[in-house]
Chains A and B, each alone.
Chain A
Amino acid sequence: GESVGLHLPTLSVQEGDNSIINCAYSNSASDYFIWYKQESGKGPQFIIDIRSNMDKRQGQRVTVLLNKTVKHLSLQIAATQPGDSAVYFCAENIGPGGGADGLTFGKGTHLIIQP
């Protein structure tokens, strides 16, 4: 899962297995959550999002689960492929409205796919 510090936590999985990446958020007022994927040398790429009135949302090969009771967010990637190798991080939007108010990013988890 995500944590502070100079070194990103690393998750190593076998190709074809499912991956689960975790994120703990701190503010119970957060009402919108986003998962991003960042490959080396590129900008963060939007994967999937979820609003606080939902506890699960599915995309293509990805599922996001939200547990508001324990302020926990997870990203599940099915049948992991080599192209899934990247840093994944979550972001939370605190409060209503648009603009920059309260969009906070986690530090990231490095997903490594073993052949």
Chain B
Amino acid sequence: NAGVTQTPKFQVLKTGQSMTLQCAQDMNHNSMYWYRQDPGMGLRLIYYSASEGTTDKGEVPNGYNVSRLNKREFSLRLESAAPSQTSVYFCASRRQGVGSPLHFGNGTRLTVT
């Protein structure tokens, strides 16, 4: 099992450009998440999908959109990138329910110039 796979690993964008970060999990998990990690800020939730067909905003959703394409895949889109979106982005998944830890991918390092 590959677990949670994220692509690309690195990306540099110019201000105003758009891109989609891809995430796929092969653990048959119901819930999927997008976090960003910034120095001194810890992990902050952008969007999540509790189950296939549903998505909800997290703590910092502005400037992002998501799509739960199917049970395996959850993508994050930046429509018009800004320097404030320079960060490391992590996708995670878990079985639904308390007592179920998140499993993370290895991240996408995004720089917006």
A residues whose Cβ falls under 8 Å from a Cβ of B: 4-7, 31-32, 34, 41-46, 49, 51, 89, 91, 93, 96-100, 103, 105-108
Contact = CB atoms under 8 A, between A and B. Distances in A.
A38 to B, nearest CB: 9
A44 B40 contact: no
Nearest to B48: A100
B101 interface: yes
B103 A100 contact: no
B101 A49 contact: yes
Contacts of B100: 98
Which size bracket describes the interface of B in this complex? 20 to 34
B56 interface: yes
A52 B62 CA distance: 34
A89 B35 CA distance: 15
Q: Looking at A32, A41, A100, A106, which has the most chain B CB atoms within 10 Å of its CB?
A: A100
A44 B41 CA distance: 15
Contact of B98 (A7, A32, A45): A32
A45 B104 contact: yes
B29 to A, nearest CB: 10
B66 to A, nearest CB: 12
Contact of A43 (B30, B51, B90): B90
